[in-house]
Amino acid sequence: MNFYLFLFVFLNFWFTNPTSAQTTTKFDHTAWDQLLQKYVDKTGNVDYAGLQKSKSSLESYLKALQQNTPTNSWSKNEQLAYWINVYNAFTIKLIIDNYPLKSIKDLHDGKPWDVKWIKIGDKTYSLNNIENDIIRPKYKEPRIHFAVNCAAKSCPPLLNKAWTASNLETNLANQAQKFINNTKYNQLSASTVKVSRIFDWYKEDFGDLINYLNQFSSTKINATAKISFIEYDWALNKQ
């Protein structure tokens, strides 16, 4: 009888306890990862025409995102990876829904980031809502500016793999270092720095810019270095 009593208690716990292994699930970004690896090259350029042919796969992933919003049981890294993927995946959808086009700024009178069209759970967001009302204030991680992608040539390259809790820290560090030291986006020397407009638009996130750049720069920049910002190229980041 003791064995059966134990079995009853164990099964009751398994099926009813909210912290049991059965009810603890993580969101699976594999479908997005497969699309990125197939249609985004190592430099971050996107085969939008190819993605149009796999639109149903993208929309299935987006639907899964919409129906599985982060909860307090998710780790901070799981949540942040989710929102970065949301931003990037819905940006891709915006482009392929309107492709071919020359620039994302050709849409919605040049302000596509302000349009509320992304339904997540019971709320509807704009791209700006996701970045500026969720990601930036909640997670306070300036390296996200090298993770979210605005579909333009001057944007930090789109990573050709999905963000996950397990790869988040490594990829944030790698993306920051690669972007900051890439002369296509930034030119750094000891006395002069010419950098992406991102560092101007989001200056409050980076604090002292020279100190921030020196965390990743392969060139030691003097504290008195002259700073200027490079004109942004909004042409589509297509292959």
Tens digit of each residue's pLDDT (9 = 90 or more) over 153-183: 999 999 999 999 999 999 999 999 999 999 9
**Token representation of residue 235:** 């042409």
Closest CA to 148 of 128, 167, 121, 165: 128
Q: Is the pLDDT of residue 197 over 60?
A: yes
Strand order of the β-sheet with 226-229 is: 187-188, 192-195, 226-229
Backbone angles phi and psi of 140, in degrees to 5: 45, 55
Backbone angles phi and psi of 90, in degrees to 5: -75, -30
Measured CA to CA, the distance from residue 102 to residue 105 in angstroms comes to 8
pLDDT in tens, 29-86: 999 999 999 999 999 999 999 999 999 999 999 999 999 999 999 999 999 999 999 9
Q: Are 236 and 104 in contact (CB under 8 A)?
A: yes
| pLDDT tier for residue 24 given thresholds of 50, 70 and 90 | very low
Domain boundaries, the chain: 27-182
Quickly count: other Cβ atoms within 10 Å of residue 213's Cβ. Answer: 23
